[in-house]
Chain A
Amino acid sequence: MISKLQGKNFWLIVIAAVLAAFPLFSDSRTMTILLTQIFIFSILAMSYDILLGYTGIVSFGHAMFFGVGAYTTAVILDRMEPTLGMFLLSIAAGMVIAGIISFIAGLLTLRLKSHFYAMFTLALSGLFLVAAEKWRTVTNGNDGFTFRAPEFFQDRTMFYLTALICLILVYLLLSRFVASPMGRVLIAVRENEQRTASLGYKTLHYKVTASVVAGIFASLAGSLYSVSLRFVNTSVMTMDITLDALLMTIIGGVGTLIGPILGATVIEFAQHYLSGLARDYPIFERWIIFFGIVYILAVIFFPQGIVGWFRQIRAKRSGKRAAAIKAKQPVLKAKAEENG
């Protein structure tokens, strides 16, 4: 099993290296921007999966944390001078604010059934959207405002690399987090909350922690997003962002960290090409419908997403091989689940 893990890590390192070297080979501006976008949304989707996939909590307010990060960074860089130090400070500030909000939201609703967190975050993010529209002195409403990014990011490639490094760091941090005793308890909560509670774990503490971790990293994604555009408006708070995170996580595969990254890649590429097609075929202007239908079908027939599907195939194959040798399928199946 250790060698298997190393094999997986080996391929991840190869992919990361190829992505890091990508600007050397290609100077395609659209591709660089698209990939940067994918890195940022991968962070968002991973943070969402900490809630949905690992703890079994549905949040409909993820755009709120994303928007808090985006606005905090934009406002600080706009009001202060745009330096790297300020950029880091603004990220930290966004994370702290998002952490506080997600802590309160979690504390209020996670004692109750799962519906409450979904409803409360939906309503709270609606409130934040209205606040962003109305609080014009800070946000400039729906028109938004442009700001200067730090000198360092004037070069697209530098920002591309920064986003990639952030993605790798968040991936490593979160994979450490979900493998920690804390993360194991979260998975236990997802599988059977009552049983976990009866084992003596204070499940509320764990669920609130998951909520805070998810909020913090969503805010980081928002900070990066606003710097990548050098512009922010209320669209960062809309339901679309939450839906993106949701789609990416579900289609990629819940309960894994690779899944959301895969999902973000698939969805961003699909969005890119479908909106390109929309210029020729007007029906593609409503491409969200296709996503909605794919999403519904995925929830019904395909709840484990792309990663889950691959795992099934692999488990089947190795299962067959094992069956041919010794008929040891249950053990292998248990192992396949353990990998998750």
Chain B
Amino acid sequence: MDLLLNLTVNGLATGMLIFLLAAGLTLIFGLMSVLNFAHGGLFAWGAFSGVFFYGVTGSFLISVIGAVLTGVVLGFITEKLIIKPVYGNHVQQILITLGFMLVLSEMLKVVFGPNQIAAKTPDYLSGSWEAGGVILIKYRLFIILVGLLVFAVVQFILKRTKIGLVVRAGVINKEMVQALGIDINKVFLYVFMAGAGLAALAGALMAPYSGVVYAEMGLEFAILAFIVVVIGGMGSFPGSLLAAILVGLAGSYMAYFVPSLSLAVNMILMAVVLIFRPQGLFTAKEA
């Protein structure tokens, strides 16, 4: 029981981190059908800058805010320099964002050095609670909480505000939104920056969770995020939450019970979804 609970908490925490990454990916894709392969790079930058700001200021809150701001600024640069010039050409977009991913992760090595860096958990979040013989690690619960909070906030913005309305309308029919006199490119820029910020937030939270940050972590997590986006359905925000939890839990259980299959299970899940429901598990829309 104790074990199952711990595995579940662990899986949920990982799932939430993947969700933060996938949320930006799926909205960016839904809005402009741009698949951003550089997203993992933004995630890694978030992780490194989080560790950096934590070392400088000593405050976890400031470090997370610093990381998110770094992500937002990088997102702005990415959209303006990398996505804009090849707008509308899918093959070029895929190629160029992957190239930028390469530059981002190499830049990390230039700025922060090629070695992995240890990341500390703040005192008030380290340790664990014990309740009725069950040990719960604080930081994991914290990640789950942040994930749910972000989901609630973004869901609120999407469903209850004007900008959310525009974004949702843009996902369904971009041309119609443009015809109504809304500058969809500007909306896209904002969504892109927000998505980059979320990726950086995931990175900043990931750093104390894994204990170390390294430049290759971006690609590793980006692969999981892609799997989530496929399973959850491209462009579906709630779908990406459910799929991320599914992938997180599957990974966590498998890593314990059948360790050799832990990555394979996600691939199999993705393959099954691609065969039977290529539009994603949690979307009604036809792909």
Contact = CB atoms under 8 A, between A and B. Distances in A.
Contacts of B62: none
B267 A299 contact: no
Interface string B3-44: 000000000000000000000000001000101010000000
Contact of A115 (B85, B94, B107): B94
B48 to A, nearest CB: 15
Contact of B230 (A111, A119, A250, A289): A119
A112 B271 CA distance: 13
Question: Chain A: interface residue count, which band?
Answer: 35 or more
B95 A300 contact: no
B274 interface: yes
A124 interface: yes
A292 B98 CA distance: 9
A58 B95 contact: yes
B82 interface: yes
Nearest to B85: A300
Contact of A289 (B95, B103, B220, B271): B103
Contacts, number: 98
Interface string A277-305: 00000000010110111011001100100
Contact of B223 (A109, A111, A126, A293): A126
Contacts of A122: 223, 226
Contacts of B106: 286, 288-289, 292
B85 to A, nearest CB: 5
A293 B110 CA distance: 14
B180 interface: no
Contacts of B274: 108-109, 112, 116, 120
A44 to B, nearest CB: 17
A303 B278 contact: no
B263 A126 contact: yes
A317 interface: no
Contact of A130 (B29, B82, B263, B275): B263
Given A114-B91, A118-B35, A127-B263, A296 B99 contact: yes
B253 interface: no
A46 B96 CA distance: 20
Contacts of A286: 106, 109-110
B90 A250 contact: no
A250 B86 CA distance: 15
A246 B101 CA distance: 14
B112 interface: no
A243 B102 contact: yes
Contacts of B278: 111-112, 116
Contacts of B125: none
Interface string B216-242: 000110010011011000100000000
Interface in B84-133: 85-86, 90-92, 94-96, 98-100, 102-103, 106-107, 109-110
A120 B270 contact: yes
Given A120-B274, A250-B95, 20 more contacts: A56-B91, A60-B98, A112-B287, A113-B33, A113-B90, A113-B287, A118-B35, A119-B226, A120-B270, A123-B267, A126-B220, A127-B264, A127-B267, A130-B263, A134-B260, A239-B219, A246-B95, A296-B96, A300-B85, A303-B92
Interface of A: 52, 56, 58, 60, 108-109, 111-116, 118-120, 122-124, 126-127, 130-131, 134, 239, 243, 246, 250, 286, 288-289, 291-293, 295-296, 299-300, 303
Interface of B: 29, 33, 35, 37, 82, 85-86, 90-92, 94-96, 98-100, 102-103, 106-107, 109-110, 219-220, 223, 226-227, 229-230, 234, 260, 263-264, 266-267, 270-271, 274-275, 278, 287
Give me the 3 closest cross-chain CB pairs, A-B, nearest first: A292-B103, A292-B102, A119-B226
